[in-house]
A and B are shown apart, each in its own frame.
Chain A
Amino acid sequence: MSGIVADGVSRSFGAVHAVRSASFRAEAGRVTGLVGPNGAGKTTLLLMLASLLAPDTGTVRIGDVDPMEDPLGARRMLGWMPDALGAWPSLTARETIVTTARLYSIERDAAHARAAELLALVGLSELADAPAKVLSRGQKQKLGLARALVHDPQVLLLDEPASGLDPDARVQLRVLLRRLAGEGRTVLISSHILSELEEVIDDAVFLVAGSVVDADPALAAARAWRIRLAGEATIADADRVAAALGMASGALDVDRNAMLVGFATEQAAAAGLRRIVEAGIDVTEFSPAQSALEHTFLNLPRSEPHA
């Protein structure tokens, strides 16, 4: 069993409480998303999981290993991709992977084979012998991912892996992460691109001001739904929809050829759709204006942001 368990983990830097008593688990074979606003403590939490930072209180387990007691054991098991990837500027992509592999005690020949394999996997084969300083931000992210995978880790900690990636690469990343989870690995991924995250994650952990928060109340909050009619939407259309929903005339606005209507629950939304259809209005689109994850994220209880 090689999941991640955090139990009451706290860490402060001077007066700043970056993570406060965070508890969660990420299961093996699943992709878990770590979601939270800027400064919520995601990176600090990942650093503690990656055995680089000691928690002030609480315990972390990577599989069966406590990284505080056996950092080397934890490191052999985990692959970490930081948000700001530091690449050795004058080394080529291939040398970067080979060097990292050597630091994991992989033999020279095996390291070269592994580098070729990983560069092909992340799509950097053509740039394998270019120095890292000429790589674009997205290419550096790919290199960082390849580096995190070099020792075939059972647990992956990815901090904003999709930032700087083009849409093609994002799709490839999604497929790769699903495949890695399918092989029984634990994948913990933090990202701000919630729509992307939603496509790939099985579970989500919400972190606000250093604490893990229960997402159920936020998920239950009223959601906005986007309603689009056939043809160009006019104010008259908006009034017809408002009338069908029993709302005052002028209560709805037309925004980018569609109307936004708030429904408290999914049942209320379904009932609303039925009334619009029964009123003979030609609906072509009736969908949540935000993804479920985005909706939850935006409705999380906010407190003072922390650096």
Chain B
Amino acid sequence: MNPSHIGTIARLELTQRLRSAGWYVLLGCFALILLAVTAYSFVAYSYGDAMGAGVFSIVVNTVLLLVVLVSPTLSGNAINGDRDAATLAAVQVTAASTGDIMIGKLVAAVATGGAFLVVAVPFMAVSLIGGGAHPATLAVSLLVLAIEIIIVAAVGVGFSGLIARPLFSVAATYLVVAALTIGTLIAFGLGGAAFRTEITTQTRPYDSTGNVVCDRWDTYTSEMPRFDQVWWVLSANPFVVLADATPTSFDAYGYPQDMFGQIKFGVRSAQLPPSPYPQWDECHPNRPREEPPTAQEVIDSTVPSWFVGLGIQIVIAGSLFAGAWARTRTPARMLPPGTRVA
């Protein structure tokens, strides 16, 4: 491992990218989308007292969305693209080690993703100035964004070392990103619906004249999905990680003020086992009813899951990256099928 070699390889990657016009067009489009999203979310949140928090969370979620959409194309052909262009062997034959090459490529991919983050900073700053967003929110969300960029970059570089054709490795990277963002939602929904539990509800019957009968109960059973058994599936979702890790501020009714908090509330609620609907006895209308917990109470009483999610993502990205590292090592014993060294 040699910092100077890593720097040279990362600079080599970035120089080639910075000299293409397409890159600047992409950044320009990114800025335009963020501008539109920021403007519209200011309008959308203008009713509340914590406008900045809402706008901020929407801007950060948009940044995360665009970063996971763009990063695979920037990292997914790092190694096999060079193999195709016959420039990989030219680096491998120098004093740069396989580790230098792998880390250099990763640094370049992360720096590219980081450029999107830099473009997004003014928009985040505007929403902060708009008021309401907590500085801790800014720090945590920037940190999570940076980690997600590193994870997607590592997945991309990993696949590019394991799969011979750049097209397929980029597609595979997208599939992993899709599995994390959309696949976890589908698995969560299907899993919850597959595990069901019977819930019994009692109501007072009515007689033929429409008066309530107070000496017996009617009993209904229904099946409820058990999301509390599959809630952990959602934890690997990057948006959930972001929302779950970010500190939430609540309004006077214990309701989260920003989108992070709303997502967090939804995900945390899934941890609770289904309970019978609070029973309301028409014969005793004044008996105090059990109030459903507020969002704040739900969030405070359930388990934070973001580190589980990050752990799953780090294992996936790390093993792909390590596999690519082994495949890129020279002198090569095994080559990825369908490739040649030079």
Interface residues of A, Cβ cutoff 8 Å to B:
13, 43, 47-48, 50-54, 67-68, 71-72, 75-76, 78, 80, 82-91, 95, 99-100, 102-105, 147, 151
Are B95 and A103 in contact (CB-based, < 8 A)?
yes
B residues near A (Cβ < 8 Å) are: 2, 4-5, 8-9, 11-12, 15-16, 19-20, 82, 85-97, 330-333, 335, 341-342
Kindly name the residue among A67, A75, A86 whose own CB sees the greatest number of chain B CB atoms within 10 A. Answer: A86
Contact: B330 with A51, CB < 8 Å?
A: yes
Q: How far is the CB of A138 from chain B (nearest CB, A)?
A: 17
A72 to B: closest C-beta gap in Å: 6
A86 touches B89 (CB 8 A): yes
- A190 to chain B minimum Cβ distance, whole angstroms, is 13
Contact status B342-A87, CB under 8 Å: no
Rounded to whole Å, the gap between the CB of A99 and the closest CB of chain B is: 6
**Is there contact, CB below 8 Å, between A51 and B87?**
no
Q: Give the docked Cα–Cα distance between A150 and B96 (Å).
A: 14
Could you tell me if A82 and B20 are in contact, using CB atoms closer than 8 angstroms? no
Alpha-carbon distance A72/B82, docked complex (angstroms): 21
Minimum CB–CB distance from A162 to chain B (whole Å) comes to 18
Tell me whether B15 and A75 are in contact (CB under 8 A): no
In the complex, what distance in Å separates the CA atom of A80 from the CA atom of B89?
10
Q: Within the complex, what minimum Cβ distance (angstroms) separates B236 from chain A? A: 37
Q: How far is the CA of A43 from the CA of B341 in the complex (A)?
A: 10
Residue of A90, A103, A147 most packed against chain B (CB within 10 A): A103
Chain A residues with Cβ below 8 Å from B97 are 72
What residue in chain A is nearest B12 (Cβ atoms)?
A99
CB < 8 Å neighbour of B341 from A47, A89, A95, A100: A47
| Contact across chains for B332 and A53 when beta carbons are under 8 A apart | yes
Partner of A87, one of B15, B87, B332, B335: B87
Additional pairs, 19, CB under 8 Å, beyond known A72-B95, A84-B342, A102-B8? A47-B342, A52-B89, A52-B93, A52-B331, A71-B331, A75-B94, A78-B93, A83-B342, A84-B86, A86-B85, A86-B87, A86-B89, A90-B15, A90-B20, A99-B8, A100-B94, A103-B94, A147-B90, A151-B94
Chain A residue nearest to B11 (CB atoms) is A99
**Contact between chains at B342 and A52 (CB < 8 Å):** yes
Tell me, in angstroms, the Cα distance from A86 to B83 when the chains sit together: 9
Query: Given the complex, which residues of A lie within 8 Å of B88, measured CB to CB?
Result: 86
Known interface pairs A76-B95, A80-B93, A88-B16; A105-B86 also in contact (CB < 8 Å): no
Give B333's nearest chain A residue, CB to CB.
Answer: A54
B87/A88 in contact, CB under 8 A: yes
Q: Hey, which chain B residues are within 8 Å of A47, CB to CB?
A: 89, 341-342
**Contact yes or no, A52 B5, CB < 8 A:** no
User: Are B16 and A91 within 8 A (Cβ)?
Assistant: yes
Give the complex CA separation of A23 and B230 in angstroms: 62
Asked if B4 and A105 sit within 8 Å, CB to CB, the answer is yes
Within the complex, what minimum Cβ distance (angstroms) separates B295 from chain A? 52
Q: Which residues of the other chain, A, contact B20 by a CB distance below 8 angstroms?
A: 90
Are B90 and A100 within 8 A (Cβ)?
A: yes
Whose C-beta in chain A lies nearest to the C-beta of B330? A52
Complex-state Cα separation, A78 to B93, whole angstroms: 9
22 pairs, CB–CB < 8 Å, chain A vs chain B: A47-B341, A47-B342, A48-B331, A51-B93, A51-B330, A52-B93, A72-B95, A78-B93, A82-B86, A85-B86, A86-B86, A86-B89, A86-B342, A88-B87, A90-B15, A90-B19, A99-B8, A100-B94, A102-B5, A104-B94, A105-B2, A105-B4
If A90-B19, A105-B5 touch, does A53 touch B91 (CB 8 Å cutoff)?
no
How far apart are A200's CB and chain B's nearest CB, in angstroms?
A: 23
By the criterion CB–CB under 8 Å, are A103 and B91 in contact?
yes
Contact call A89/B86, Cβ cutoff below 8 A = no
Residue of B nearest to A90 (CB): B19
Write out the residue numbers on chain A whose beta carbons fall within 8 Å of the beta carbon of B333: 54
Q: Are the C-beta atoms of A75 and B93 separated by less than 8 Å?
A: yes
Q: A85-B86, A89-B16 are in contact. Are A52 and B94 (CB under 8 A)?
A: no
Q: Is the CB of A54 within 8 A of B15?
A: no
Query: How far, in whole Å, are A76 and B93 apart by their CA atoms in the complex?
Result: 9
Residues of B within 8 A of A67 (CB): 331
Instruction: Point out the residues of chain B lying under 8 angstroms from A52, CB to CB.
Output: 89, 92-93, 330-332, 341-342
A85 to B342, CA, bound (A): 9
Given contacts A84-B342, A103-B9, contact A75 B95 (CB under 8 A): yes
The CA of A100 and the CA of B95, in the complex, are separated in Å by 9
Given contacts A82-B90, A90-B20, A104 and B341 within 8 Å (CB-CB): no
CB distance from A188 to the nearest CB of B (A): 14
Q: How far is the CA of A95 from the CA of B91 in the complex (A)?
A: 14
User: Which A residues are in CB contact (< 8 Å) with B12?
Assistant: 88, 91, 99
CA of A220 to CA of B332 in the docked complex: distance in angstroms?
A: 40
How far apart are the CA atoms of A51 and B342 in the complex, in Å? 12
Known: A82-B86, A86-B86. A50 touches B16 (CB 8 A): no
* Complex CA–CA separation, A43 to B342 (angstroms): 9
Question: Which residues of the other chain, B, contact A89 by a CB distance below 8 angstroms?
Answer: 16, 85
By beta carbon, the residue of chain A nearest B334 is A54
Report yes or no: A90 in contact with B94, Cβ–Cβ below 8 A.
no
CA distance A278 to B196 in the complex (A): 112
Question: Are B5 and A53 in contact, with the CB atoms below 8 A?
Answer: no
Q: Which residues of A contact B16 (CB under 8 A)?
A: 88-91
A78: which B residues are within 8 A, CB to CB?
93
